[in-house]
């Protein structure tokens, strides 16, 4: 078990959210009035959004409802039919994937990572395993997630069939560093993910976006940014990948063609995290710093006749206490 990863995860998702808040607030800047907005306000978002707050999975469907009552839940992801979801439960130096339905009548543990060794011993730490950042395929009961199973780094794994033994995606190990936040293409054949890289004589770390083809194993660099690009989210129409890029001291929303190309900045001077697309790809929601916590805001998204993406000004969608901004959202009809 990687000692650095263990230390970080022991903080817990709530503590990590606090750290993220400090980083984002420290980066507050002045919006650029020259940044144009070519999209007028459209219809209010519809559907159902899963997110984590105060250690449980919550759902917004016009109002906010608590779904789980476990106190250690994070990172929810909807099934393709919107009837089930997978999420993470975090224990002492380990985490597992669980699935359930909205009525809480079908809770199932999908991984079993808690060591059998005595808690607090070195053996317990050495044998602990993390399962993190699940993403449910839009076309099958396949879960992509991050784990350090059998390795000292967090790489991508696939679970094909809920509860079946997972297998590692070898291409995710190519660059030799931790990966995060997988997101499926709408046809289920590719995954975009964040990978950390070490630069400047092994003293500085950054993040970039990569795409792996699950059929061929081909790995493609999608976005490189000296200051960091992360939280990639594939649009349901397959055309775009939204992500957050650290731009100086800000954390703004960007998009890039899923096939590769020039990224486009959509917000300026914001403190954002964890973008998620509406089911029809017309809106993007994200966590935004709000005082000493976070709210969920959104923009309307469109592409002009010149092929350039643009958005409306961001609007508040909803707020909730104790939002875990390190934990992704998931949006379904």
Domains of the chain, with CATH numbers? 3-332 (2.120.10.30)
In this structure, the number of other CB atoms found within 10 A of the CB of residue 39 comes to 19
For 176, what's the count of Cα atoms within 13 Å in the CB-facing half-sphere? 1
Between 166 and 14, the more confident residue is 166
State pLDDT tens for residues 5-56.
333 443 444 444 444 554 454 444 444 333 333 444 578 999 999 999 999 9
Q: How far apart are the first and last CA of the chain?
A: 39
- Report the C-alpha gap between 267 and 236 in whole angstroms: 21
Asked which of 4-18, 52-66, 310-324 is least confident by mean pLDDT, the reply is 4-18
92 — phi, psi (to 5°)?
A: -85, 100
DSSP helix/strand/coil, 165: coil
- Report the C-alpha gap between 129 and 67 in whole angstroms: 26
- Residue 136's contacts (CB-CB under 8 Å, 6 or more residues apart) are 77, 78, 79, 80, 85, 86, 142, 143, 184, 330
State pLDDT tens for residues 93-122.
999 999 999 999 999 999 999 999 999 999
Q: Are 17 and 325 in contact (CB under 8 A)?
A: yes
Helix (H) or strand (E) holding 2: none
200 has pLDDT over 80? no
The pLDDT score that the predictor gives to residue 201 is: 60
pLDDT band at residue 248, thresholds of 50, 70 and 90?
confident
Give the pairing of strands 84-90 and 95-101: antiparallel
For 332, what's the count of Cα atoms within 13 Å in the CB-facing half-sphere? 18
Place of tokens 């929810």: 76
Residues β-bridged to residue 190: 213
pLDDT band at residue 205, thresholds of 50, 70 and 90?
confident
**CA torsion angle 134 18 210 328 (round to 10):** 30
Mean pLDDT for the stretch of residues 182-205 = 86
The pLDDT score that the predictor gives to residue 41 is: 56
**CA torsion angle 18 23 24 29 (round to 10):** 150
The pLDDT score that the predictor gives to residue 224 is: 93
Mean pLDDT for the stretch of residues 273-293 = 97
Percentage, residues of the chain above pLDDT 70: 86
- State the burial class of residue 148 (Cβ atoms within 10 Å of its Cβ: 0-12, 13-18, 19+): buried
Q: Are 326 and 17 in contact (CB under 8 A)?
A: yes
86 — phi, psi (to 5°)?
A: -115, 145
pLDDT band at residue 128, thresholds of 50, 70 and 90?
very high
């Amino acid at each position: 078990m990687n000692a650095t990863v263990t230390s970080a995860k022991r903080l817990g998702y709530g503590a990590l959210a606090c750290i993220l808040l400090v980083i984002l607030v420290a980066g507050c800047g002045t919006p650029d009035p020259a940044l144009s907005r070519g999209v007028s306000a459209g219809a209010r978002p519809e559907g159902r959004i899963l997110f984590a707050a105060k250690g449980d999975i919550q759902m917004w469907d016009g109002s906010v409802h608590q779904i789980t009552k476990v106190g250690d839940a994070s990172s929810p992801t909807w099934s393709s039919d919107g009837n089930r979801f997978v999420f993470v439960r975090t224990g002492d130096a380990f985490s597992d994937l669980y699935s359930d339905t909205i009525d809480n009548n079908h809770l199932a543990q999908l991984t079993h990572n808690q060591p059998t060794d005595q808690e607090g011993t070195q053996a317990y730490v050495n044998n602990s395993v993390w399962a993190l950042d699940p993403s449910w395929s839009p076309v099958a009961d396949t879960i992509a997630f991050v784990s350090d199973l059998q390795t000292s780094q967090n790489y991508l794994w696939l679970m094909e069939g809920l509860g079946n033994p997972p297998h590692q995606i070898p291409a995710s190990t190519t660059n030799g560093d931790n990966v995060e936040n997988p997101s499926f293409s709408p046809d289920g054949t590719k995954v975009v993910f964040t990978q950390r890289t070490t630069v400047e004589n092994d003293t500085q770390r950054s993040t970039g976006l990569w795409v792996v083809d699950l059929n061929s194993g081909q790995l493609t660099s999608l976005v490189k940014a000296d200051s960091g690009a992360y939280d990639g989210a594939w649009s349901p129409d397959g055309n775009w990948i939204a992500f957050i890029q650290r731009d100086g001291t800000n954390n703004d929303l960007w998009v890039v063609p899923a096939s590769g190309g020039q990224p486009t900045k959509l917000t300026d001077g914001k403190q954002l995290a964890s973008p998620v697309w509406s089911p029809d790809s017309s809106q993007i929601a994200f966590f935004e710093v709000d005082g000493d916590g976070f709210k969920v805001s959104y923009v309307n998204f469109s592409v002009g006749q010149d092929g350039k993406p643009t958005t409306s000004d961001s609007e508040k969608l909803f707020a909730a206490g104790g939002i875990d901004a390190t934990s992704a959202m998931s949006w379904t009809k």
